[in-house]
Amino acid sequence: MHQVSQLILLAGFATSCVLAGQGELAVAADPPAQKSKDYELRVIRVGDSYQAIRFKANTGESWFIDDEKFVKIPETGDVPAGDFDIKLITDDKDYIALRIDRTSGATWLLRNRKWSKIAEPKEIKDKEKHAEK
């Protein structure tokens, strides 16, 4: 009986996914961060374990879980307040983490457990310089 209930639930879920995607399987995206939230959490499975990063959406301040405790992720430079999101990507052996300020587009890559800002293309830097004048 329990298996029949699971099968019915699974069939209903699959049907709603197909209808939502108009014939294609729908993929759920992370909902956008809301400014009323203080903290958000991103978790991903990597092989037989997991990686998790907790962060403040308005400051980008973040922590990873290490042996049942949160450890702050250091910055390699100043980080202005903004509207941040973090994406985790895995290949089942390793993972990468990216942090983006959705207001400015500034992006950081997690390297050696530190956030490293990704350099902007020259044309974007030039536009920002002219906008400041």
For the chain, what percent of residues have pLDDT higher than 70?
67
Mean pLDDT across the chain, nearest whole number?
78
How confident is the model over 64-84, as pLDDT tens digits?
999 899 999 999 999 999 999
Alpha helices in the chain (DSSP H): 2-20, 122-132
Task: Extract the runs of DSSP E, i.e. beta strands, from 1-133.
Answer: 39-46, 49-56, 62-66, 69-72, 84-90, 95-101, 107-111, 114-117
Going 14 to 15 to 16 to 19, the CA torsion angle's sign is positive
Residues in a beta bridge with 98: 87, 109
pTM: 0.65
